[in-house]
Structure formats: C-alpha cells, structure tokens
Structure 1
C-alpha cells in the first residue's frame, strides 16, 4: 500500500513539473511595450526593439497572431506550451513567447491597440535581431 501511494505521489509530482505553472507572464514587459506603442504620436509604421524591454535570459521569441490555435502555437514554437491567454478565440492581443535553451521561460500578452505587428520575414526573434514592426 505504501509503495503504491509512493508511485501515485511521484506520478503527481512528475505531472506538476511538466506543466506551465512555472512559466511567468511578464506583465511589466506587457506594460512597457503597450506604453511604448501608445507614446508613438504619429500613425506611421514604426518598430519596437524587444531586447530593450527584457531583463531575463532568452535566445528566441515567437510572435503569435490572434486566433492562432493551440496546435499551431506548438508547431510554430516547436515545444509543448499550453496557451494561458486563450488566443485562439481572441483578436485583442498578440502573444510573445520567450524561449531559452529550448524551454519556454516567459510570455507576454501584447495589446493590439489598433495596430498590427509582424516580424517581417523572420520566423522568430533573437536578442541580436529583436525588431517587431508596428503597422498602423
């Protein structure tokens, strides 16, 4: 009986360790990016340099478009990531997912604020190539 409880407890701990609970939503990053977008007074296209807003280690960042399904997120990012924002049914945000050494470390919900974002022809951002283009 004790051995069986040990196996059940170990299995539960393993499942808990394999979820997104330790992945942080970076609300400070969200606020800083959203403020930066609002402060651009003209309606022309502009750019955001993401590295200027980050204070954590990352080597790739993926910009996820509104209405992207869970399956498409995992295909684009290349790792298992349970989307906490429910972006598959939302058009008010973009999701920015940061990886370091092949693991998701943080994410941010970026408000659209009557804009569209793109990475131009890039698949993902890196600290040395970190420009998100704003299209108004």
Structure 2
C-alpha cells in the first residue's frame, strides 16, 4: 500500500468514528427546556412555604425523580438512573464534558447535588443545585410522582428538604 492509501484509510476510519459519535450525541442530547422555569418555581416555593408537592412545582409530567449526591461521577449517575444522556448543547461541549476528565465529576464539590427527572425512558430535566440554598440530600430514595410531598426545614437562608411520609 502506498502512503496515500494508508492516509486515506485512516481518514475514512476517523471520519466514520466521529460521524457515529456525533449521531450518538444527538440521540443522548436532552434539551433541558424546563430548567429555568423549574428552578424559579422551586426557589419560590422553598422561600414561601413550609411544605410542597413536587408535582405542583414541575411544569411537566414525570414518573421518577432521582436525587444525586455530591461527588457522584457522570458514569455513576447514569448507572443509578439507568439512562445515558447529555445536557451539552454542542458536539464540541459533548466531546469536552462527556469524553474527557472535565466531565467525569460534575458534582465535584460537597456543595453540589443534582435532581434528575424521568418520564418513561427519557430524561426530562437534569438540574444541579447548590446545597447551601436548597438541599435534597436527606431524601435517600427515588421519588415517585404520586409520592412527592416534601417538608422544608429552614436553617438561615438554607432550605433542607425532607420527605413527608
């Protein structure tokens, strides 16, 4: 084989790999369209009330809500939820934060935790929250839509969310 033929084969393999990875990105991408509205509603309810039902806060229907603790890696999060997804808006962002060390630990500090809302086999919302403002980490179980009542315990400006049994 000539050098040119080897180079052509390498370029075809590289292009095919990137194309497959790009389509994988498009399949995994969620739009997180409820992010701002949900965050605003959650902050408002935790400041104004002493208890709430999560289904009244979410502007969408969901089946399960997962509370992801600090220091949980991206692969552990996806294993817990059972779905692979990305919130990256661009393929370059996906490559940087899904495929490199930069994205392996999205909850890399004790101050951060995450809520992930699922409907069927689809992630509807992935939101990272500051535990010094709103802290769901005392709730250990998966939360189901019909059992999503919480009590708010205030400690200064911090709202600790507890499951209402």
The answer to whether the superposition gives a TM-score over 0.5 is yes
Moved more, 124-133 or 59-68: 124-133
Mapped to 1, the partners of 2:128 and 2:150 lie a distance apart of 14
Match of 1:129 in 2: 147
Mapped to 2, the partners of 1:19 and 1:82 lie a distance apart of 6
C-alpha displacement of 1:130: 1.1
Could you say what secondary structure the match of 2:85 adopts?
A: coil
Instruction: Tell whether the 8 Å contact from 1:119 to 1:132 is kept in structure 2 after alignment.
Output: no
Q: Which structure: greater helix fraction?
A: 2
Question: Could you report, residue by residue, the CA deviation over 1:72-93 in whole angstroms, capped at 9, with x for unpaired residues?
Answer: 2112111113476953213333
Unaligned segments of structure 1, at least 5 residues: 41-45
The count of corresponding residues between Structure 1 and Structure 2 is: 126
Could you say what secondary structure the match of 2:125 adopts?
A: strand
CA pair 23-83 structure 1, distance change in 2 beyond 3 A: closer
Unaligned segments of structure 2, at least 5 residues: 1-11, 89-102, 156-165
Instruction: Tell whether the 8 Å contact from 1:66 to 1:94 is kept in structure 2 after alignment.
Output: yes
The question of 1:36 aligning with 2:52 is answered: no
The question of 1:87 aligning with 2:106 is answered: yes
Match of 2:32 in 1: 24
Larger radius of gyration: 2
Could you say what secondary structure the match of 1:24 adopts?
A: coil
